[in-house]
Amino acid sequence: YYLLILNNYKSHYSANFKRYYKENKIIMLYILAHISYLLQPLNIRYFRPLKKAYSREIKYLIRYFITYIFKTKFFSAFYIIFKAIFIKSNI
């Protein structure tokens, strides 16, 4: 048997999918959509802190009326944030 964890999105309830799961010995576990990210370790450990740090930087720029940024500046700023989050001790 296999376990497939799904959020409760309506397309996961189709009869064709249910038949396929049953024929292939797949057990479906439905969870609420807004908590599914908790089961994804990369989201919790890396991408959530990355998103928070990036949001902080954007708020800082907006505070100083910088509302447009060129790609080169974006990538240099993003890389600083990325390096702060994706450190060896987090891997």
Handedness of CA 37, 40, 41, 46 (dihedral sign): negative
13-55 per-position pLDDT tens digit: 788 888 888 899 999 888 887 887 777 776 677 888 888 888 8
CA 42 to chain centroid:
7
For the chain, domain boundaries: 2-39, 41-90
- pTM score of the predicted model: 0.49
Give the 3-state secondary structure of residue 50: helix
For 90, half-sphere exposure in the C-beta direction (CA atoms, 13 angstrom radius) is 15
Q: What does DSSP assign to residue 86?
A: S
- Between CA 59 and CA 88 the distance in angstroms is 28
